[in-house]
A and B are shown apart, each in its own frame.
Chain A
Amino acid sequence: EDQVTQSPEALRLQEGESSSLNCSYTVSGLRGLFWYRQDPGKGPEFLFTLYSAGEEKEKERLKATLTKKESFLHITAPKPEDSATYLCAVQRDSGYALNFGKGTSLLVTP
């Protein structure tokens, strides 16, 4: 059965303090790994899709990377507005459902 594990569960950073969030996964036949950002009381907001090991994608202060077993979301010089829950999900190549982890709750303080 597919498994997606995110760590840490919660992370508190000072503004400007770079760090990484981890997403470990096991899936039979990966089509893609997805990162989303979710603010309280709102739906997830799409950030990145990664399709193959070695792929990297960047957007502003965020950079996502993928290996055969895990993905990292690197946050460089975060700002308070980056505070949110970051969700990782995998999609099998045999279907379209996303299987999500529980998320990492990030708090960036000024």
Chain B
Amino acid sequence: DTGVSQDPRHKITKRGQNVTFRCDPISEHNRLYWYRQTLGQGPEFLTYFQNEAQLEKSRLLSDRFSAERPKGSFSTLEIQRTEQGDSAMYLCASSLGVGGSYEQYFGPGTRLTVT
């Protein structure tokens, strides 16, 4: 039983560079979520997909952030022109989406450090 996987686990980049993260959800899950977590805080919602459709985006998701889920399976989150304030743990989660099952299962996260 494979859970949610994320790649890379750690990324160090210089300010102004672009970065892309990948998330592979649990195979039968049709809902996929991205969150961001900084030290001492709970995760903050960024965006949500049902299959390939991006249905909800947070105010936190500035125009430097873009997320895709092209075939309704894996998803990518790209951050353009990174800033030091983007340093955080980026978490992906997935949920089944049918049968009244709403619990979200999280991956291990990608820790981004912007220098």
Contacts and interface: CB of A to CB of B under 8 A. Distances in A.
Given A43-B91, A44-B91, A99 B106 contact: no
Contacts, number: 58
B105 A32 contact: no
B45 A97 contact: yes
B85 interface: no
Contacts of B91: 43-44
Interface string B40-81: 111111001000000110100000000000000000000000
Given A95-B56, A96-B48, A97-B33, A103 B42 contact: yes
A49 B56 CA distance: 22
A45 B43 CA distance: 12
Interface string A1-25: 0001000000000000000000000
Given A42-B108, A42-B109, A43-B91, A99 B103 contact: no
Interface in B6-51: 31, 33, 35, 40-45, 48
B113 interface: no
A41 B111 CA distance: 9
A87 B35 CA distance: 14
Nearest to B10: A41
DSSP majority for the A interface? strand
Interface in A53-110: 87, 89, 91, 95-103
B29 to A, nearest CB: 12
Nearest to A91: B102
Q: Which 4 A-B pairs have the closest CB atoms?
A: A100-B42, A43-B106, A97-B45, A44-B106
Interface of A: 4, 31-32, 34, 36, 41-46, 49, 87, 89, 91, 95-103
10 contacts: A34-B103, A36-B106, A43-B4, A44-B106, A46-B104, A46-B106, A91-B102, A96-B33, A97-B33, A102-B41
Given A43-B93, A97-B48, A98-B35, 19 more contacts: A4-B42, A41-B111, A43-B106, A43-B108, A45-B106, A46-B103, A49-B102, A49-B103, A87-B42, A95-B56, A96-B31, A96-B33, A96-B55, A97-B33, A98-B43, A98-B45, A99-B45, A100-B43, A100-B44
